[in-house]
Amino acid sequence: MLKVESWPPPKWPEVVIKWDTILSDKTYNIRDMFEWIDSAPGGQYHLHGYKSTEGFAFRFEREEDATMFSLRWS
């Protein structure tokens, strides 16, 4: 997928991954998550902090990309 840098974030479907989840589950690897999203087929995505310090907010241009990401990582 292609990362989009813009502000304000696009009003696309959002998937939130909180730090609490990442730190409490040993199967999460941040590098793996970013490698996966950068190499996955699909449209565009936007990444920004969730409430600044609580985690990551991924927004996806296509609903099916949000669903695919959510099934894999949340």
Locate the domains of the chain by residue range.
2-73
pLDDT (tens, 9 = 90+) of the chain, 74 residues, equals: 999 998 888 899 999 998 888 888 777 788 888 999 999 999 999 998 877 678 889 999 999 999 999 999 87
Length of the chain: 74
pTM listed for this prediction: 0.84
pLDDT tens by residue, 34-54: 999 999 999 999 998 877 678
Residue pair 13/47 in contact by the 8 Å Cβ criterion: no
C-alpha distances out from residue 39 to 3, 12, 25, 62, Å = 11, 20, 23, 16
- Between the alpha carbon of residue 9 and those of residues 31, 47, 59, the distances in Å are 23, 8, 8
